[in-house]
Every structure is written in C-alpha cells, then in structure tokens.
Amino acid sequence: MISRSRQVALALTVVLAAGAAWQGREHRPPESGHPEAPVVRDRGFTLVASGGVLPHGPVLERARFDAGGGGHDFGPMLSGARPVVAGADLALCHLETAFGADGDPGSTFLPEIARALAATGYDGCSTASDHALDDGTDGIRRTLDALDGAGLRHAGAARSEREARTATVLRAGRAEVAHLAYTYGVGAGPLPPGAPWAVGLIDGPRILADARAARKAGADVVVVSLHWGTEGQEAPDERQVVLARSLTAARTGHRPDIDLILGTHTHVPQAYEKVNGTWVVYGLGDQITGATTGREGAPDPRGNRSTLARFTFTPPGRPDGRWEVTRAEFVPQLYDVDAGRVVDLGRALAEGAEVRSVRDRIRTAVLSRGAAKDGLFMGE
C-alpha cells in the first residue's frame, strides 16, 4: 500500500538561517489508494498538487445539499480527485479564501472544507493569496486553526511572527520536503502594520533566502507555491516568466535552490515548463469554484478547468546531488458546476465530444511552452 504523511511533528532540532524552526512529519498508509497510480517506495516519491479552492455560493449550496440539509459536506464534490490525490505520497492543495467569523456563514461550513480536503488525501495547503486577509488577521487565525484541526499542514500565512519564520516540512517517503508559499499581494490594502509577517509576499531575494535556509537545515526537496500571474490569461505573463527564470537559475553547490514551482491565481490552466532544469507550473487553475465570468461579464467556462500536477522524484546518485523529477504528468480536471463535482477528464473520454474538447483545450494550454519535449504527458 502506498505510504502517506501523517500529522506527527519531528523534533524541532534545527533552526533555519532566517530564524525559522524546522518541522516535519512521518508517513502512514492511506485508507485507500489508486491501484494504477505510480508507486514509488524505496526509490523516491510522488507529489500531487492542485489549484484553488474557492467556495462560491453554488459550491456552498451543493455542499449543503450533499449533507442532506444539515451542515455542509464537501467530500462528494472532491471524490473525483481522490484516486489521484490519495495515490500520491505527498499531496498539496491551495486554499484561496479565509474562514468566516462567528455569526457569518463561513464559520459553520468552511472548517468542513478543511476536513473534506484531508479526507480526500491532501497533506497540506498553500494559504498565501490575495484573499488571505479578506477577514483580517482573525480570518487567518480561524483558517489555520481549522486546517490544524483537520490535520492539514499549511504554508504562506501565519498567526504569529514565529510561525511566519517556521518552515513547513513534510515527509514523503524518505525525503524531507519543504513547502514555501507567497503571493503577489493581499488585495487592495497593505499588510497589517502590526503584523507585516501575516502573509508571505513575493520577493525574489527573500524566496531564495528562505529556500536556501530550508536546504541548509536539511530539506531534500524545496517546493515553492506562488500566487501570481494575470487572471483569465492562459499564457504566463512576463513577470511570471522572468521570476521563474530567476528562481530556477539560483544554485548552491551542485543543487538548485528550488526544485519545483507551483502557480495559482490565474483561475485558468496555464503552461507547465522545464526552466533551467526545474519544473514550473505557471497556473494550476481552480479546482473548485462557482460559475465564472470574464472581464466583460460574459460566462467563461475556462474558470472551472484545472489540472492536477503529478511529479515523481527519484533520490540522487550522490550525497550532494538533487532529487530529480523522473516522471512529469498533468491530469486535466473540470469542476462541473451543475453536478457540483470535480471530474477527472483523463478518465472521462467516453463522455462525448464536449468533454474531449475541454480536455484538449486544457492540454493545449499546458503544453504551449514545449513541455512535451521534456517528457510531460497527460495522466489520469
């Protein structure tokens, strides 16, 4: 049975150069797995990542319906993603919204989202986004408390300066994987004057300093989640491309400082690309969201399309070498707004021409920067 992470922190014995504590956890077997998913045990691990979870009105209504009218149940809508997610050694999601206060609707259903994500097989979420401070620092506290309660690790937002300086580290097989997360901004306003550490902001030198500190403290693999790009644009913008080149070019000794970049925010699937030998996912799209509209207010079904990224890492042949990605896949997904379900389009080829058209549009965007020549292929 494929191993999975469990929520047991390793001893905080190493302090990062930036003053951050080092935390990790071991693995446990899942309740169930996908028999066809790549199985990598002693030789490495598989990492799966998905795009934004945005619980718009129709999403909440569906979750209420699936719960039989009492509370909210987000498990059924995520069931289509579970085989891929539960079949990975390490699975990361992106929670784009903050949890509501007592008396607000969010206080009753959003913690249930965290529990559903955990039950689907996710191990942790990036929480740095332009919506992270929509409900202030109290919203961050409620969100991270709920994730903690569900047994999910998190990176990108913090309840205290100490937490902001604490690296999120997860165990995948025998590898220690550091997860760092940053956003281009936090909406219309600045960071709170009394809590400038509340959300990690994108800054190239800072990201590299954090990555190097994580590596120095013992991380075998460093994964960086970036909330960036231009909304609704399938091609990565110039800022994404320039930053990706800069971050992936940075090296210390024989290893790059960053091993994988995962992008969110654009709300539509964007390209995967191998840059300076490192995989960059410019935009995963949104895994769960309501019906979407474009800039002119017209319906834009692209906003309900996304991918699951799945990368297989193999350990280095020498002590100072990098963990190499030896298998790179994307799994096209659709959030069916009417049914309220995530659909694995790689498995839905018998559904007809419309489904194939959506799948092909996603594939075209994902492969638009030549990733196929570097071995990226569509999985299921």
Per-residue pLDDT tens digits for 31-41: 334 444 444 34
Kindly tell me if the per-residue pLDDT of 362 is higher than 70.
Answer: yes
Predicted confidence band at 169 (pLDDT cuts at 50, 70, 90)?
A: very high
User: Are the C-beta atoms of 299 and 291 separated by less than 8 Å?
Assistant: yes
Per-residue pLDDT tens digits for 258-311: 999 999 999 999 999 999 999 999 999 999 987 776 666 677 788 889 999 999
Of the listed ranges 100-109, 224-233, 292-301, the one predicted with least confidence: 100-109
Domains in the chain, start-ordered, CATH in brackets?
Answer: 4-378 (3.60.21.10)
Kindly tell me if the per-residue pLDDT of 228 is higher than 80.
Answer: yes
**Rounded Cα gap, residues 322 and 235, in angstroms:** 29
Report pLDDT for 156.
Answer: 98
* Radius of gyration in angstroms for the set of CA atoms belonging to the chain, rounded to a whole number: 19
**Rounded Cα gap, residues 222 and 148, in angstroms:** 22
Kindly tell me if the per-residue pLDDT of 352 is higher than 80.
Answer: no
C-alpha atoms less than 13 angstroms from C-alpha of 64 in its C-beta half-sphere: 12
Per-residue pLDDT tens digits for 113-138: 999 999 999 999 999 999 999 889 99
Closest CA to 8 of 149, 151, 219, 125: 151
- What is the rounded average pLDDT of the residues 59-66? 91
Per-residue pLDDT tens digits for 180-222: 999 999 987 789 999 999 999 999 999 999 999 999 999 999 9
